[in-house]
Amino acid sequence: GQNIDQPTEMTATEGAIVQINCTYQTSGFNGLFWYQQHAGEAPTFLSYNVLDGLEEKGRFSSFLSRSKGYSYLLLKELQMKDSASYLCAVYTGGFKTIFGAGTRLFVKA
């Protein structure tokens, strides 16, 4: 079966660092995406990991361990505008992407 798990909600303080974890069990794996989605809007691309390790892009970093079926998204210097849902998605091949339920992040002042 296909299973992607991430926490439902997280709360963090402006200026802090937050890590959003994602574990997956899928029938195929070609890469892992992280998307940001604000309420009522479509997802926007944040990162894509194919190989193990950490990919850094500004305030956002994403980590992947394929052997453990594990990824995390790290957000630094949190800003109020970072309040959104963060979706972990696995590209299983055959052009198919499976999404996790998303983690709603609340950033408080």
Partner 1 sequence: GAVVSQHPSWVICKSGTSVKIECRSLDFQATTMFWYRQFPKQSLMLMATSNEGSKATYEQGVEKDKFLINHASLTLSTLTVTSAHPEDSSFYICSARDERGALDEQFFGPGTRLTVL
Q: Please tell me the distance from the alpha carbon of residue 6 to that of residue 94, in angstroms, as a whole number.
A: 24
| Site stretch for partner 1 (CB under 8 A), options 19-27, 41-49, 52-60, 74-82 | 41-49
* 43 makes contact with partner 1 (CB under 8 A): yes
Q: Which of 12, 89 has the CB closer to partner 1? A: 89
| Six token digits for residue 75 | 């957000």
3-state helix, strand, coil in the chain (%, to 5): 5, 60, 35
Q: Which stretch binds partner 1 (CB under 8 A): 18-26, 55-63, 66-74, 97-105?
A: 97-105
Q: Tell me how far apart the terminal alpha carbons of the chain are, to the nearest angstrom.
A: 41
- The single residue among 5, 11, 45, 56 that binds partner 1, judged by CB under 8 A, is 45
With H, G, I as helix, E, B as strand and everything else as coil, classify residue 39.
Answer: coil
Cα separation, 84 vs 20, whole angstroms: 12
Quick one: which of 32, 100, 105, 107 contacts partner 1 (CB under 8 A)?
100
Establish if 73 lies at the interface with partner 1 (CB under 8 A): no
Q: Provide the binding-site residues for partner 1, judged by CB under 8 A.
A: 30-31, 40-45, 48, 87, 91, 95-102, 104
